[in-house]
Amino acid sequence: MALLERHPAKRLGFRIRVWLKATQLRQLDVAWLSEELGIGQVHRSRECWEWLVKDQSDARWLLQAIQPFARVKAQQIEIALRILEHRTDSIGDLVEMAEWADALSLLNVRSRGRRQNTAAMIQGFVSRND
């Protein structure tokens, strides 16, 4: 998933982050990912357990490692890597990355209707402050 976050320390006031997540009913079914790969954290989430990778370099490494083998999630991996590898030098770059984050969200059935931060949020923020 890709998240658009307000971040006052960033020059443009926002950042786009890619998180990788696996959710299962039993802790054992996700704990091995953290143990085997040495990245990510396992957390309880409502009635499930999730393995979450928030570190951007870890996310990039894992996505690059699995990309050649991905079929169902290939398009999502491609967009996530594009976000991770893109520099944000201008508001135009940030808007473009936010649009990619929106596209990534639309490809994940479970994200539909849940993610509230979109490229429009940046446009509204920039318009008010120009």
pTM: 0.80
Sketch out the chain's domains with CATH numbers.
2-17+55-129 (3.10.28.10), 20-53 (no CATH)
**What confidence tier does 108 reach under pLDDT thresholds 50, 70, 90?**
confident
Please give the C-alpha separations between residue 117 and each of 3, 67, 86, 89, 104, in angstroms, as whole numbers: 7, 27, 19, 20, 13
User: Taking CA 16 as the corner, what is the angle to CA 57 and CA 96, rounded to the nearest 5 degrees?
Assistant: 120
Is it the case that residue 25 has pLDDT exceeding 80?
yes
Instruction: Please give the pLDDT value at position 88.
Output: 82
Q: Is the model more confident about 40 or about 9?
A: 40
Residue 62 pLDDT > 80: yes
Q: Compute the distance between CA of residue 14 and CA of residue 6 in angstroms, rounded to an integer.
A: 4
Report pLDDT for 44.
95
The predicted pLDDT at position 83 comes to 95
Q: Are 119 and 95 in contact (CB under 8 A)?
A: yes
Percent of the chain with pLDDT over 70: 82
